[in-house]
Amino acid sequence: MTTRLRTAHTADLAPAELRAARALLDEAFEGGFSDEDWEHGLGGMHVLVEDGRGLAAHGSVVQRRVGYGGRWLRVGYVEAVGVRGDVRRTGLGGRVMAELERIVDGAYDLGALSASAAGAPLYTARGWQLWPGRVCALGPDGVVHLPDEEGSTFVRPAAAGPLDPVHEVVFDWRDGDVL
């Protein structure tokens, strides 16, 4: 089946396209994709793959800030990656990630994402590195350690170069799942 890949900013997607993306993610995550998860994937660049049946795969990258080693890095944070059930394991997730990585590598100091156990092999195979250090967030009351995010946070060094895990990474705060 022929597929078409398109990249667009949230502002350039029609309401019907956003509804289709949300529906695909609800299905892909079997009901475990919350309103906050959806909100986290908006405001940046979306990669959409369509086939003869409609939207087959989606992913987005949004800007976040991460404190690291006394400076704040501009981070392309990958969100809302999902593939329709009938076309999983056909390479569409890789196509989405290749385009998201192109954006991260060209526009950000660093790429980051939080992966489920099921999603981690895709990212590892593409060269994303499990962050071996401490993961924190700058919350309303200061820096908060997020030990539950350690072991599922992946990074892709871009302009920042390799990172030393002797320094913690401190993500900006957001509602819902911080990472």
Instruction: Quick: pLDDT tens for 26-84.
Output: 999 998 999 999 999 999 999 999 999 999 999 999 999 999 999 999 999 999 999 99
2-33 residue pLDDT tens: 999 999 999 999 999 999 999 999 999 998 99
The per-residue pLDDT of the chain, averaged, comes to: 94
pTM: 0.94
For residue 158, is pLDDT > 80?
Answer: no
Domain 4-172, architecture per CATH: 3-Layer(aba) Sandwich (3.40)
Q: What is the pLDDT of residue 5?
A: 97
105: left (phi over 0), alpha (psi -120 to 50) or beta: alpha
Q: Residue 145, Cβ neighbours under 10 Å: how many? A: 13
CA angle 93, 11, 65 (to 5 degrees): 70
Handedness of CA 91, 25, 120, 143 (dihedral sign): positive
For residue 108, is pLDDT > 90?
Answer: yes
Q: What is the pLDDT of residue 161?
A: 73
Q: Domain segments of the chain: what residues?
A: 4-172
